[in-house]
Structure 1
Amino acid sequence: MEALIARLRERFPTAIQEVITFRGETTVVVPREALVEVCTYLRDEEGFNVLADLCAVDYLPRTPRFAVNYHLLSLDHRRRLRVKVFVEEEDPVVPTVTGVWPGANWHEREAFDLMRIRFEGHPDPRRILLPAEWEGHPLRKELPVVVEEIAYSFNKARIYAEKPFARE
């Protein structure tokens, strides 16, 4: 992995902002402006032919607030790499990588649907899980946490007695 990181630093001297290795997993942090170029290089030159996952993270109250993680897999070389892009709350936009890995399509739609991270240039930027008229993005940390006790057979009477419809 050290040789790969050295090649990345040589090829993209200003784009590799940080390299983190934690518990055997390496993460490379890049700016959104370099994302597609770095991902294309990783696919074409380093053999990362699979985008295993793409997910967005809300780090509220940290700044930058959001990150998009790209979990890459090289089947030929049997190695994994995470590419991370941080985005600000005011402008949560990253370029799409559907041109690099077509399988990113639904992952990016899910990240938009649940976190409101926009993927510039995405071929079909519609919601994928929630109805089109749904307001908000449920995995963002700004929404209030609501806990409702679940009714089971042993506590059903007490739970239902406390429900608003029981008071009407």
Structure 2
Amino acid sequence: SLGYDMLLDLTGIDNYGEDPRWTLVYELYGTGHGCHLRLKTEVSEEKSELPTVTGVWRGADWHEREAYDMMGIRFRGHPDLRRILMWDGYPYFPLRKDFPLAGKPTDLPDVAFTKPAPLEGGPFVTIAGGKDSIAREPRVRVPEN
């Protein structure tokens, strides 16, 4: 009703160790008057849920999905709240401050630590189920000093 008809951005901030844990920042724009408005709201870790704003701004759809996928903040009433970047069944939220910088172990191939080896026939998709990169593709592993 104030003429802010466009949601430009939705940002989640993890205030790890504080209560409330989450701060969400909505950046709004009014195309009729050319003004910006920044709204902030806080959510506790126990609740980790807000009502969706997709009924007001359709563009909030993917913003809310990303906030859910990366930080675990749920949006009650969202039409399609599912992961957008991580795969289905991934149990963690990578943009939380308590997520380890080195990541979490997975059963997926560790292709980030391989180097191109065209004369040695690779790199290709490595052997599934190996304990580590060396077990999956020892020919292209860069030795650590």
TM-score, L = length of structure 2: 0.70
Q: Distance in 1 between matches of 2:73 and 2:96?
A: 10
Higher helix share: 1
2:142 maps to 1:160: yes
Aligned twin of 2:102: 146
CA distance in 2, matches of 1:100, 1:113: 21
Residue 151 of structure 1 and its aligned partner are, at CA, apart by 8.9
Query: Which residue does the alignment assign to 1:106?
Result: 62
Deviation at 1:145, TM superposition (A): 2.1
Partner SS, residue 114 of structure 1: helix
The Cα shift of 1:117 comes to 0.3
Gaps of 5+ in 2: 104-112, 116-140
After TM superposition, the structure 1 = structure 2 runs for residues 45-60 of structure 1, keeping only pairs within 5 Å, are 46-60=2-16
1:71 match: secondary structure: strand
Higher strand fraction (1 or 2): 1
Match of 1:136?
A: 92
For 1:104, give the aligned amino acid: A
Distance (Å, rounded) in 2 between the aligned partners of 1:98 and 1:133? 24
What secondary structure, in the 3-state scheme, does the structure 2 residue paired with 1:52 have?
strand
Aligned residue in 1 for 2:75: 119
Matching residue of 1:75: 31
Residue matched to 2:127: none
SS of alignment partner, residue 162 of structure 1: coil
Q: Which amino acid aligns with 1:160?
A: V
Indicate the residue corresponding to 2:119 in structure 1: none
Amino acid at match of 1:108: E
Aligned-pair CA distance for 1:64? 0.8
Shift of 1:79: 1.1
Question: What number of residue pairs does the alignment pair up?
Answer: 111
Provide the rounded CA distance (Å) in 1 between the counterparts of 2:79 and 2:19.
29
- What is the CA deviation profile of residues 78-129 of structure 1, one whole-angstrom value per residue up to 9, with x for unaligned ones? 1111111100011100000000001111110010000000000001111111
Task: Return the alpha-carbon distance in structure 2 between the equivalents of residues 146 and 133 of structure 1.
Answer: 20
CA distance in 2: counterparts of 1:104 and 1:113, whole angstroms? 14
Secondary structure of the equivalent of 1:161? Answer: coil
> What is the CA distance between 1:146 and its match in structure 2?
2.5
Question: RMSD of the TM alignment (CA)?
Answer: 2.1
User: d(CA) in 2 for partners of 1:52 and 1:72?
Assistant: 6
How far apart, in 1, do the equivalents of 2:144 and 2:91 lie? 28
